[in-house]
Amino acid sequence: MFKGKLFVISGASGVGKSTVLSRVMAKREDLLFSVSATTRAPRPGEQEAVSYYFVSKDAFREMIDRGEFVEYDAHMNNFYGTPKGQLEEKLQRGHVILDIEPNGAFAVKKARPDAVLIFIAPPSMAEVERRLRSRGDTPEDQICLRLDRANWEMEQSKKYNYTVINDRVDACAEEILDIIAHEAD
């Protein structure tokens, strides 16, 4: 029976994770994306069960009580978590990419020591701020919270198996693909 490799990707808000991961996913058919659950509102263009499972805080708490998460955490006034069932199902079909924050990454690594942790770092914190502001959909108080969080997340990158700097999207995606090839093939 096939059992895929689990790759956990983290990086600060505004580092370009979504863009990089879309390029990575497009290059390997055996990569599947683990969809997280969240209590935050959908952003423009996000789709249910594709971007996230969007649930209420009460529903999320019930899922915690039933032990339905591999990991979960609260930040930016919302909950985020990885549903166990869909992760295990996807690992039976291919290698899985999990896009989560550091506390979740460390919980996954503790539960699944074979998981490979990859941190996507920005070229600079000034670039993170520029990217956050250029989105145009983030209020100033949230930008400040995200910048504080980004500084903390950068400190956590030392605990990852790999750190990749996203100064050029295609180069960053290729470096991650090289890591996946090395670890999974």
- For the chain, the domains span 6-184
pTM, two decimals, is 0.87
Q: Is the Cβ–Cβ distance between 2 and 181 less than 8 Å?
A: no
Angle ∠(39,44,49) on CA atoms, nearest 5: 50
Q: Mean pLDDT, to the nearest integer, of 38-55?
A: 94
User: Tokens 């999990």 sit at which residue?
Assistant: 98
Q: Give the H/E segment covering residue 164.
A: strand 162-165
Expressed in angstroms, the distance from the first to the final Cα of the chain is: 16
pLDDT tens figures, 20-31: 999 999 999 999
Which CATH code of 1.10.4010.10, 3.30.390.30, 3.40.30.10, 3.40.50.300 fits the domain covering 6-184?
3.40.50.300
Helix, strand, coil content of the chain in percent (nearest 5): 45, 25, 30
pLDDT tens figures, 77-121: 999 999 999 999 999 999 999 999 899 999 999 999 999 999 999
